[in-house]
Amino acid sequence: MSARWKAAALVAPLLLFLLAVFILPIGAFLLRAVQESDVAPVLPRTVSALAGWDGAGLPGNDAFAAVIEDLREARERDRAAGGGEIARASARLNADWPGFRSLLPMTARRVAQELEGAPREALAGISEDWATPEPWAAIRRAGGPVSDFNLLAVLDLKRDAAGHIAAAPPDQAIFRGILWRTLWIGALATLLCLAIGYPLAWLIATAPPRLVPWLLAGVLLPFWTSLIVRTAAWMVLLQREGVLNAALQALRLTSEPLPLLFNRGSVLLAMVHILLPFMVLPIYASLKALDWRLPRAARSLGASPLRAFLRVSLPLSLPGVGAGCLLVFIQALGFYVTPALLGGANDQMLPYFVAFYASRTVNWGMAAALSCLILLAVAVILAVYGKLIGFSRMRPA
């Protein structure tokens, strides 16, 4: 018992460290995908007035009066403390119903003055939008404390005024396409790595022993070279006034420089280059551990070389193939720097959009929802791997 606790106590520092600076921050970040904390503080009365509304037609008079009161108070708070509460609420609402970015601040400015007539007419006078159900439905959906708005949005879905899930409007429905693009680029990179990596690993595993260190060094040196250096190398090679175009023109193979950069091909090329060692090393490890008497026995029993390979050597090296594919595919899904530098506008993958929403539009909710999507994909791949091959057979490269 005490030995167990001592062992646990040794693990505890790293465990606590990773909980504090890794697991908890990521958990808190992912929670933002469902948290709704921007609208309720600005429009508390409106949100509760809308709770009983059925979503058909317009809400009752109390909701109109509540908006005016809420916005007056929120504007006072913003002006006093500079908290930007209204701006944040309108950003969130704008994501659901485009138009809120100007509607809410404008209404806040106008209701600060004396209003003519009853709340319903006064708001309709400020903007006709208040006389339609859509903005009200958006406020109710964002009332919080949690909603599925962002999670639906990254699947190109949204809820209509009555609360039913429906397809997002075509000009907003971009995320399924990006998800497939991400998976497709990842799969293609994995397949290419496998097609190049397996023969290379086989060669190293069967080469004369005195050559092996040199061949291995050829894999390890790029493996240790920084990702940013290798990405930079491709940029310099492929750019318009770069090494490759200059060489092609010097050899008179082309008369005009070719546009080699900022397309899907350049992204894929660099990704395969960067990820290839992650495929070669595990396959090499499993081939090295292979008992080479078995394929030889198959051959001596009359199997053709191809048959011996397919029925004996290949199955025995599958753990290495599985580990290599796992490593390459998971890393490919997380690629950000390389596509950002080498790709065009429609070669960007999910991680790019996480960074985009986090650093360029302050939409933490969407960044978190997209992160959930990536992590889900990673989890599915890990689960499939665990089911097919199992983690206990994975060898450290």
Partner 1 sequence: MIATSRLALWIFGLLALVFLLAPVLLILPLSFSAGSFLYYPLPGLSFRWYADFWTSGFWLPALWNSLRLGTVAALLAGVLGTLAAFGLWRGNFPGQRLVMAVLLAPMVVPVVIVAVALLLAFGPLGLTNSFLGLVLGHAALGAPFVLVTVLAALQQFDAVQLRAAAACGASPLRAFLRVCLPQIMPGVAAGAIFAFATSLDEVVVTLFLAGPAQRTLPRQMFSGLNDSISLTIMAAAMVMVLLSALLLLAVTLLRRKR
Partner 2 sequence: MLRRHLGAIGLFAAGLALFPALSTGPALAQGRDLTIVSWGGAYQDAQREIFFRPFQQQSGARLLEETWDGGVGVLRAKIQSGANNWDLVQVESEELLIGCEEGLFEKMDFAAIGGRDRYIPQAVSECGVGNILYSFVLAYDRARTAEGPKSWAEFFDTKLFPGKRGLRRGPKTTLEIALLADGVAPGEVYKLLGTNAGVDRAFRKLDSIKQDIVWWERGSQPAQLLASGEVAMTNAYNGRITAANQNDGRNFGIAWAQNLYTLDSWVIMKDSPNKSRAQAFLKFVGEPRVAAELPPRIAYGPTVKGANELVSPEVLANLPTAPANAASALEISDRFWLDNLDKLSQRFNNWLSR
| Residue closer to partner 1, measured from CB, 15 or 289 | 15
Residues 6+ apart with CB under 8 A from 144: 35, 36, 37, 39, 40, 47
220 Cβ contact partners less than 8 Å away, ≥ 6 residues apart: 277
Nearer to partner 1, 93 or 193 (CB): 193
Q: Mapping DSSP to helix (H, G, I), strand (E, B) and coil, where does residue 349 land?
A: coil
226 binds partner 1 (CB under 8 A): yes
Exactly one of 58, 124, 157, 358 binds partner 1 (CB under 8 A); that residue is 358
Q: From the list partner 1, partner 2, none, which binds 120 (C-beta under 5 to 8 Å, kind-based)?
A: none
Q: Which is nearer to partner 1, 97 or 353 (CB)?
A: 353
Give residues 254-273 in contact with partner 1 (rule: CB under 8 A).
273
CA atoms lying within 13 Å on the CB side of residue 304: 3
Could you tell me which residues are beta bridge partners of residue 165?
159
Minimum Å distance from CB 344 to partner 1?
A: 15
Judged by CB under 8 A, the stretch of 11-19, 109-117, 147-155, 283-291 that binds partner 1 is 11-19
| 251 is a site residue for partner 1 (CB under 8 A) | no
Q: How far apart are CA 194 and CA 227, in angstroms?
A: 20
CB of 387 to partner 1, least distance (A): 16
Binding flag, residue 314, partner 1 (CB under 8 A): no
Single out the segment in contact with partner 1 by CB under 8 A; choices: 74-82, 107-115, 289-297, 335-343. 335-343
- Interaction of residue 286 with partner 1, rule CB under 8 A: no
Contact between 163 and partner 1 (CB under 8 A)?
no
Q: Of 239, 266, 348, 363, which lies in the binding site for partner 1, with binding defined by CB under 8 A?
A: 239
**Residues that contact partner 1, how many (by CB under 8 A):** 83
Least spacing, CB of residue 363 vs partner 2, in Å: 8
Q: Which of 56, 80, 81, 229 binds partner 1 (CB under 8 A)?
A: 229
Does 383 contact partner 1 by CB under 8 A?
no
Q: Using CB under 8 A, which of 127, 174, 336, 344 touches partner 1? A: 336
Question: Which CB atom, from 51 or from 345, has the smaller least distance to partner 2?
Answer: 345
Q: Quote the CA–CA distance of 397 and 384 in Å, as a whole number.
A: 21
Which is nearer to partner 1, 69 or 336 (by Cβ)?
Answer: 336
The two three-digit tokens of residue 73, written as one number = 């108070």
Which residues pair with residue 158 across a beta bridge? Answer: 166
Helix (H, G, I), strand (E, B) or coil at 135: helix
Please name every residue paired with 146 in a beta bridge, in sequence order, or none if there are none.
35
Q: CB-wise, 166 or 211, nearer to partner 1?
A: 211
Which tokens sit at 51?
Answer: 């709770």
Give the C-alpha separation, 223 to 276, whole Å. Answer: 8
* Minimum distance of partner 1 from residue 187's CB (angstroms): 16
- Phi, psi (degrees; rounded to nearest 5) at 167: -70, 145
CA distances from 226 to 275, 329, 386 (A): 12, 19, 30
271, with CB counted inside 10 A (0-12, 13-18, 19+), is buried
What three-state secondary structure class fits 154?
A: coil
> How much is the CA Rg of the chain, to the nearest whole Å?
29
Percent helix / strand / coil, the chain, rounded to 5: 70, 0, 25
Nearest approach, Cβ of 187 to partner 2 (angstroms)? 20
Q: Does 183 bind partner 1 (CB under 8 A)?
A: no
7 is a contact residue toward partner 1 (CB under 8 A): yes
For partner 2, which is the closer residue by CB, 108 or 327? 108
- Tokens matching residue 264: 């899907």
